[in-house]
Amino acid sequence: MPLHPPENSESFLEAGTNTLQSPLEQWQLGLPARPACGEIHVWRLRFSSPKLAELGWQFMTNDERARAELFRFAPDRERFCQSRFLLRQVLGGYLKQDPAKVPVMPGAHGKPELDSAISSHGLQFNLTHSHSVALLAITTGQTVGIDAEDIARFGNPDVAGLADSLLSKREIEVFMSLDQKSRIISFLRCWTRKEALLKAVGIGLLAKLDDFEVPMDDRKIWSVQWPPDHRPDASTFQMADLSGLGYSAAVAAPMISGPVQLFELHHPELATRYGNEAPPL
Q: For 216-247, what is each residue's pLDDT tens digit?
A: 877 776 667 666 665 666 567 888 888 776 88
Residue 66: pLDDT band with limits 50, 70, 90: very high
**pLDDT value at 21 more than 60:** no
Nearest to 249 by CA among 131, 135, 117: 135
Q: Residue 158: what are its φ and ψ, rounded to 5°?
A: -65, -45
Helix count (H) and strand count (E) of the chain? 7, 12
From residue 144, give the alpha-carbon distance in Å to each of 55, 202, 239, 281: 26, 9, 10, 29
111 vs 193 pLDDT, higher one: 193
Residue 82 and residue 132: Cα distance in Å, rounded? 11
Residue 156's pLDDT band (boundaries 50, 70, 90)? low
Tell me, what's the pLDDT at 206?
Answer: 59
Cβ neighbours, 10 Å, residue 241: 17
Prediction pTM value: 0.81
Is the pLDDT at 5 greater than 60? The verdict is no
CATH 3.90.470.20 maps onto the chain at 19-142+258-274
Question: Cα-atom radius of gyration of the chain, to the nearest Å?
Answer: 19
Cα 92 to Cα 141: distance, rounded to the nearest angstrom: 18
Range in 96-105, 129-138, 182-191, 219-228 the model is least confident about: 219-228
- Partner residues linked to 139 by β-bridges: 124
Least confident of 61-70, 97-106, 190-199, 201-210: 201-210
pLDDT at residue 194 is higher than 60: yes
Task: Please give the Cα distance from 220 to 250 (Å, whole number).
Answer: 11
Q: How far apart, in whole angstroms, are the C-alpha atoms of residue 129 and residue 53?
A: 13
Q: Which CATH number does the domain 19-142+258-274 belong to among 3.90.470.20, 3.40.50.720, 3.90.1150.10, 3.30.420.240?
A: 3.90.470.20
* CA pair distance 108, 202, nearest whole angstrom: 7
- In this prediction, residues 44-56 reach a mean pLDDT of 83
